[in-house]
Amino acid sequence: MAGRRPLRRSAAGAIVAILAAIVLAADQYVKHLTIENLPKHEAVPVLGDFLQLYYVRNSGAAFSIGSNMTWIFTIALAVVAGVIVWKTLAVHSRLWAIVLGALLGGVLGNLTDRLLREPGFGVGHVVDMISMPWMLPAIFNVADIFIVTGMISVALLVVLGLRLDGTREHDRAEAVSSVDPSDDAPGRADAAASAGS
Q: How far is CA 117 from CA 35, 110, 120, in A?
A: 12, 10, 6
Please list, in sequence order, all residues whose beta carbon lies within 8 angstroms of the beta carbon of residue 167, skipping any fewer than 6 positions away. none
Pick the catalytic residue from 49, 113, 128, 171.
128
Active site residue 190: no
E strand or H helix at 70: helix 70-88
Q: Which of 85, 58, 88 minimizes the C-alpha distance to 74? A: 58
Active site residue 184: no
Largest CA distance in the chain: 96
Pick the catalytic residue from 27, 49, 113, 144.
144
Query: Which residues are known to be catalytic?
Result: 128, 144
